[in-house]
């Protein structure tokens, strides 16, 4: 790497400065529409202990679909390879909340990072546990990973999602009709909406994802979170499916496994190097953070961290 990490982050911030405030804040979940589109934060944690933060890196935002990486981790740990009998690992080419493919594919969602797939993953976590216990265990996992006991969900966002969650409810009922959701739909959605409504800062999120950059283990605590093989697979799914219908475009421009959420956050993993979180609420037409994606593209170019 040619320069110091903080110089690189400063350069990334300068490069995206003129774009900040562009894009459209998600408004299909009313509570998200209130967020200031001019926010921008970035945090990097490297496997060898360096950190760099800039902008609104300490401000909490709704992690939304970024939560799907952590529930995928927990479900893979819970049932291992059996998970892949209930959810695929192929990109979709259709919208994150689409129902059309599910009919042709007998209620087995294409991948765990679209809504249908994430709902199945949440159902796996729910099996044998109550809804409260399940959301508590997801939050406990994030608190451990981020080394921060303050992490929680935003009840207003959870309520807003519940009130407007008809498409997710449809997906869940449809899959239950195929036997691929086993719990009660109300319970599965109770957990799913709360996991999406978890709020974290870029600093917390980057720290939480570090095990994926470090072959499954936390370089700070030494804890093995998942095996090396499993970390590789989660990264593979992030690379191929993490950016909705624009996952190919993200791979092309950024070249890092990543997962975005409609709150404007993106978690990106530079294997063997670093975990990176960016946040900027304005989204592009496919629903990925516009400035966040640009910032990661610049970061990847400046660091040479692209996996390609």
Hey, which residues does 277 pair with through a beta bridge? 43, 267
For residues 93 and 292, what is the distance between their CA atoms, to the nearest angstrom? Answer: 22
Marked catalytic residue, from 25, 66, 121, 192? 192
Min dist CB 227 to ligand GLU, Å, is: 27
Q: In this complex, which beta carbon is closest to ligand GLU, that of residue 89 or of residue 232?
A: 89
Task: Please spell the DSSP secondary structure of 136-155, one letter per residue.
Answer: HHHHHHHHHHHT-TT-EE-H
Marked catalytic residue, from 244, 280, 289, 293? 244
Q: In this complex, which beta carbon is closest to ligand GLU, that of residue 23 or of residue 216?
A: 23
- Confirm whether 28 is a catalytic residue: no
For residues 224 and 217, what is the distance between their CA atoms, to the nearest angstrom? Answer: 4
- Confirm whether 211 is a catalytic residue: no
For residues 252 and 247, what is the distance between their CA atoms, to the nearest angstrom? Answer: 9
Marked catalytic residue, from 12, 35, 43, 65? 65
For residues 189 and 7, what is the distance between their CA atoms, to the nearest angstrom? Answer: 43
Marked catalytic residue, from 185, 262, 278, 291? 262
Selected from 56, 123, 161, 187, the binder of ligand GLU by CB under 6 A is 161
- Binding residues with ligand GLU: total (CB under 6 A): 10
Per rule CB under 6 A, is residue 241 in the interface with ligand GLU? no
Min dist CB 34 to ligand GLU, Å, is: 16
Phi, psi of 238 (to 5 degrees): -60, -40
Per rule CB under 6 A, is residue 96 in the interface with ligand GLU? yes
Going through the chain in order, the beta strands assigned E by DSSP cover 41-46, 51-55, 61-62, 152-153, 198-200, 258-260, 265-270, 274-279
Question: Would you call 301 exposed, middle or buried from its count of C-beta atoms within 10 A (0-12, 13-18, 19+)?
Answer: middle
For residues 163 and 142, what is the distance between their CA atoms, to the nearest angstrom? Answer: 26
Per rule CB under 6 A, is residue 162 in the interface with ligand GLU? no
- Confirm whether 262 is a catalytic residue: yes
Marked catalytic residue, from 62, 68, 98, 160? 68
For residues 132 and 262, what is the distance between their CA atoms, to the nearest angstrom? Answer: 24
Q: In this complex, which beta carbon is closest to ligand GLU, that of residue 42 or of residue 241?
A: 241
- Confirm whether 68 is a catalytic residue: yes
Report the site for ligand GLU in 247-266 (rule: CB under 6 A).
261-262
Number of Cβ within a 10 Å radius of residue 197: 27
Q: In this complex, which beta carbon is closest to ligand GLU, that of residue 154 or of residue 161?
A: 161
Q: In this complex, which beta carbon is closest to ligand GLU, that of residue 74 or of residue 95?
A: 95
DSSP letter assigned to residue 3: S
Report the site for ligand GLU in 48-87 (rule: CB under 6 A).
64-65
Selected from 94, 97, 227, 240, the binder of ligand GLU by CB under 6 A is 97
Per rule CB under 6 A, is residue 281 in the interface with ligand GLU? no
- 84-94 burial by CB neighbour count: b if 16+ within 10 A, else e? eebbbbebbee
Per rule CB under 6 A, is residue 137 in the interface with ligand GLU? no
Contact 246, 215 (CB under 8 A): no
Min dist CB 41 to ligand GLU, Å, is: 17
Binding mask 181-220 for ligand GLU (x = CB under 6 A): ---------------x------------------------
Active site residues: 65, 68, 192, 244, 262
């Amino acid at each position: 790497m040619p320069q110091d990490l903080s110089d690189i982050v400063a350069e990334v911030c300068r490069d995206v400065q003129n774009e900040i405030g562009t894009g459209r804040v998600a408004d299909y979940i009313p509570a998200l529409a209130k967020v200031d589109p001019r926010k921008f934060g970035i945090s990097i944690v490297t496997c060898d202990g360096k950190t760099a933060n800039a902008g609104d890196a300490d401000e909490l935002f709704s992690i939304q679909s970024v939560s799907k990486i952590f529930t995928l981790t927990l479900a893979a740990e819970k049932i291992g390879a059996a998970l892949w009998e209930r959810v695929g690992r192929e990109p979709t080419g259709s919208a994150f909340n689409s129902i059309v493919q599910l009919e042709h594919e007998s209620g087995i969602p294409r991948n765990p990072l679209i809504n249908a797939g994430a709902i199945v993953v949440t159902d796996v976590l729910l099996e044998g546990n109550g809804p409260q216990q399940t959301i508590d265990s997801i939050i406990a996992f994030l608190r451990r990973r981020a080394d921060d006991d303050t992490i929680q969900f935003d009840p207003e966002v959870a309520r807003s999602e519940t009130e407007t969650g008809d498409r997710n409810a449809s997906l869940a009922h449809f899959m239950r009709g195929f036997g691929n959701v086993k719990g009660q739909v109300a319970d599965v959605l109770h957990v799913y909406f709360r996991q999406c409504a978890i709020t974290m800062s870029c600093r917390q999120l980057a720290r939480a994802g570090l095990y994926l950059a470090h072959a499954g283990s936390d370089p700070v605590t030494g804890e093995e979170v998942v095996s090396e093989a499993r970390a590789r697979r989660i990264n593979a799914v992030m690379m191929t499916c993490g950016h909705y219908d624009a996952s190919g475009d993200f791979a092309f421009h950024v070249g890092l496994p990543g997962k975005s959420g409609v709150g404007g956050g993106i978690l990106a993993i530079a294997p063997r190097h670093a975990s990176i979180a960016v946040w900027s609420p304005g989204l592009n037409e496919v629903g990925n953070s516009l400035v966040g994606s640009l910032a990661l593209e610049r970061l990847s170019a400046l660091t040479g961290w692209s996996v390609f």
